């Protein structure tokens, strides 16, 4: 096994709007689509489409949405032996509005994702033991994230934490993370430092390095990203594309990092590959349906 993803599985309910409404404003939505999503499932599907052998650890509800979500994982060649159905609970759901610019707002309702616990991780421990990289995020309980990272490092696995949705994290989570992938907002919350410049990003990242994380890749939207470790930092430019929908761009970026690291690529190669994958993702509508396949990444110019 190459990659184990521990995290959320959601059904995205997506509508298009001309402009995201202001507080108190009512606007018209155009269409309503049910699209499999969830940060964990998106990352698992993205990694599988890019050619990795992937197992998912997560929880689904006891509803019709769960059937569709499980089917999507299977179709995309994601292993689901550790995906648990939760009685008397709804599957995770995300309400998403996408405006004409491609920007979005998202409300996540955890549902069964909130039930993923340490016992579930123990039951899947052989899967974690047999993998190369463990990827997780924050749409499942923080205590479960902490436990996953502890177990992964006990087996000397490389760990990637995508700290979204934004939350402050204790040192025992930070110190068990090899690669942290925050955006600017998440970096502010994690470090307590207001981000207004490149120097602020570096200062905030160094604070997290002192707390025990080994490497950071800070995503900066259309400004690209920055890699920081104890040896220094390097900036990488974004690719210029016409954005249709930014949903799952960060998830595909994180998944691509994991895939390229599994393949033993240099950090320059890893970030270049992930940048292209993220750029291709925003050119399509929806979460999992927008995630590119490896052949597309290889052949398409952006």
Q: Supply the residues annotated as catalytic.
A: 251
- Specify whether the CB–CB gap between 10 and 41 falls below 8 A: yes
Q: What gap in Å lies between CA 112 and CA 267, rounded to an integer?
A: 36
Cis peptide before 165, with omega less than 30 degrees from 0? Answer: yes
- Specify whether the CB–CB gap between 10 and 37 falls below 8 A: yes
Other beta carbons within 10 angstroms of residue 165's beta carbon come to 13
Q: Which residues are paired to 104 by β-bridges?
A: 98
- Specify whether the CB–CB gap between 262 and 131 falls below 8 A: no
Other beta carbons within 10 angstroms of residue 31's beta carbon come to 8
Q: What gap in Å lies between CA 48 and CA 40, rounded to an integer?
A: 12
**124-127: long-range pairs with CB below 8 Å, 24+:** 124/57, 124/82, 125/151, 127/1, 127/4, 127/55, 127/57, 127/79, 127/81, 127/82
In Å, what is the CA distance from 269 to each residue of 222, 256, 257, 262, 266? 19, 11, 9, 12, 5
């Amino acid at each position: 096994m190459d990659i184990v993803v521990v995290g959320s599985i959601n059904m995205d309910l997506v509508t298009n709007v001309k402009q995201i409404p202001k507080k108190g404003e009512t606007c018209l939505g155009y269409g309503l689509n049910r699209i499999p999503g969830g940060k964990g499932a998106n990352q698992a599907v993205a990694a599988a489409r890019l050619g990795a052998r992937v197992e998912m650890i997560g929880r689904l509800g006891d509803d019709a949405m769960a059937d569709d979500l499980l089917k999507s994982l299977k179709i995309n060649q994601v292993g689901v032996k550790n995906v648990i159905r939760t009685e008397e609970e709804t599957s995770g759901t995300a309400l998403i509005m996408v405006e004409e610019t491609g920007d979005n707002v998202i409300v996540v309702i955890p549902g069964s994702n909130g039930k993923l616990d340490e016992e579930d991780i123990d039951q899947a421990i052989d899967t974690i033991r047999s993998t190369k990289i463990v990827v997780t995020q924050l749409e499942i309980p923080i205590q479960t994230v902490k436990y996953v990272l502890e177990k992964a490092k006990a087996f000397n696995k490389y760990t990637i934490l995508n700290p979204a949705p934004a939350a402050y994290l204790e040192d025992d989570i930070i110190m068990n993370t090899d690669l942290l992938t925050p955006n600017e907002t998440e970096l502010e919350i994690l470090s307590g430092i207001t981000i207004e410049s490149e120097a602020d990003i570096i200062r905030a990242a160094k604070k997290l390095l002192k707390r025990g994380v080994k490497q950071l890749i800070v995503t900066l939207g259309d400004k690209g990203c920055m890699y920081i470790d104890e040896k220094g930092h390097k900036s990488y430019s974004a690719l210029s594309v016409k954005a249709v929908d930014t949903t799952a761009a960060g998830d595909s970026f994180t998944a691509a990092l994991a895939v390229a690291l599994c393949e033993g690529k240099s950090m320059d190669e890893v970030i270049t590959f992930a940048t292209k994958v993220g750029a291709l993702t925003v050119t399509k509508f929806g979460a999992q349906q927008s995630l590119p396949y490896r052949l597309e990444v290889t052949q398409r110019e952006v």
